Structures are given as C-alpha cells and as structure tokens.
Amino acid sequence: MTNEVADPAVVLDLMEAFRRSKTMFAAVSLGVFDSLADKPKAVETLAAELNANADALGRLLDACVGLGLLQREGMQYANAAAAAAYLCRNSPNRLTGYLVYSNDILWKLWGNLEGAVREGGHQWKQTFGWDGPIFANFFHNEDAKREFLLGMHGYGLISSPLVAAAFDLSRFRRIVDLGGATGHLAVAACQRYPSLQAVVFDLPAAAPLAREMIAATSVAGRVSVQAGDFFTDALPQADLYAVGRILHDWTEEKILTLLGKVHAALPAGGALLIAEKMLDEGKATPMWALMQSLNMLVCTEGKERTLAEYKVLLNKVGFAEVEGRRTSSPLDAILAVKR
C-alpha cells in the first residue's frame, strides 16, 4: 500500500476557474477593452474614464494580462489580439453581446445548477421569476437584442466556415437555413459554393439585422431573408436545409416535429445539415459539449447529443443516410440525406 496522495491539480484548477471567467465578464461589462481600442492607457486614465477605483481596476487589469487578454508595457495597458478581435464592440467579430448575456443571465442561471439537476429542468422561474426561457425578458430594448445577435454572429463567424466545409455540398442548389439569425452559415456556404443560392429563414424580429449583415458580404446577391416560424409556417423550398444550434434547444418531441417537417419538404436526394457540438459515444468528451449540455439544462428544454443519438432521431422521421464530421470549431457537422 502506498502513502502517495492524489494530485490535487484538477481540483485546485476548477476551484478557481469561475474566477477567470468572471474576470473577463467584468472587464467587458466595465468597458475596459472598448476604452483600450484606440490606444494603450495607464490605469489612472482608465479609472477616470470608467469611473472605477484605480487600485481595484489595476488588479483587474493585471489579472487580464495574466489571462492573455491584455498586454502591459511599462505603465501602459493595451488589448491583446484576441481581445481586440472579440471583446471590443467596434469589432465585426465581436462576441461582446453573448458575453454580456453570459454575465447577466447565464451566470445567475448556473448558480441554480443544483436545482436544475434535482428538478430536471431549466431555472428561469427560480432565478428571475420568469415563466420560461423567454429572451424578451433579457432583450429589454432593441440595442440589447442587436448586441446579443451580433455576439452570436461573431460566434458563427468562427464556426460556420468549417461547418460549410465539413461535407461536399456542391451538388445542392438551394440551402434554407432555419433559424439562421444573421445569416453567417448561409453566407459561408455561398462563399464556398459559387452555384449555391441561400435563404435565411428566421422570426420577423431577426430579419432586419440579417438583411443588414448579408448586404455587407460578397454573396449578398445570392442570399435572401424570409421571415417565419419553422414550427408553424411552411418551409421555403430547398434541396438542402440547415439548422445550426437549433436542435439542442428543444425537447425530443419538438425536434422530431421539426425533423419530420424538413424530411417531408425535401426532394429525394435532398439533405439536412446540422451544426451542433457532438458528444463522443462514451459521453466523456469533448469538454465544450459536456459544459454546453449543462448549459442547456439550466436555460432551455434541450441537451447535447452523440452522433448515434442524432441518428436515432433522424431515422425516426425517415432519414436513412446520416454521417457526422468533427471540426476544430465550437460546432461539428452532421449531414442526413433523404433517399
């Protein structure tokens, strides 16, 4: 028998991991990265601009240096490349809207994770007194909604090109992205496949920003926007449908309703492209998907799944040929073909 004590590294790391996330959230919320977008500044200058205590702000800035979000030269702080790209509101790739949502909403929902595990459902009522995961309660004005959608757009810019490249989609002529938000997946697909036409199909509230974002791309002439609800309205005609970060939001019953509707609308040889992060078959990795599945528990009706679990759902509605491909981005790709 050995007297060796187990390595505490994993416990110690996780014990303070939430502090690292909150450091980034707080710096975004306070406007640190936006204030440094134009030039490096000293802590005293930043404290005056941000209405913050100079000593306390200095500790936050030093922590951000340690996290790789800021750089320090002498007494001056500057944004690191990742912060300039993703944490500044003037960047086209910004994730700030989703980070604000994470800080103001998800942070509090995750505080009730124990309740979600005991009860098996989301914690909106327990956390905020709301009757359900109603984003309107968070989007208290148009600016908040726009910033959140732009944060999701930045997320899409990371993932959508790799999803569009995961399979050879050159045989398809028209893709309809259901719940396509700002159109990042439709745009990425059209940029990769010159003969492809695309429709972004989303709720009326999402349409204006989608048109704005698409108009600024090189494929604006091949991507249109149509307002509608994919659960209740007829789907636009297509030989390829796409759902990105959609299925993991819903119960199995709702997923089967949507998948059945897509299958019925497709011609023979048509397909459905799914963009979700797949759990491995043992459900031990990847960590991103494991954490996202818990996130779905506290804030939606859904969860993350393995490829085999997606195949079961797709087979139930008539898809016989289903293949999954992993990507290096936060989303993987699944292609289901109708025969």
Angle at 201 between CA 198 and CA 203, to 5 degrees: 155
* 212 phi/psi in degrees, rounded to 5: -65, -45
* Distances, alpha carbon 28 to alpha carbons 18, 84, 88, 144, 299, in Å: 16, 11, 8, 15, 22
Return the SS3 of 76.
Answer: strand
Residue 133 has, within 13 A of its CA and on its CB side, a CA count of 16
* Active-site residue, selected from the candidate residues 122, 184, 248, 263: 248
Pick from 124, 105, 123: nearest CA to 114: 123
DSSP class of 278: P
Question: Which of 93, 27, 17, 29 minimizes the C-alpha distance to 64?
Answer: 27
- State CA 70 to chain mean position distance: 24
Distance, C-alpha 309 to centroid of its chain: 21
Burial class of 314 by CB neighbour count within 10 A (0 to 12, 13 to 18, 19+):
buried
* 248: annotated active-site residue: yes
Please count the residues of the chain. Answer: 339
Q: How many helices (H) and strands (E) does the chain have?
A: 15, 10
In the 8-state DSSP scheme, what is residue 221? Answer: G
Select from 25, 31, 77, 80 the least CA-distant residue to 52: 31
Active-site annotation, residues:
248
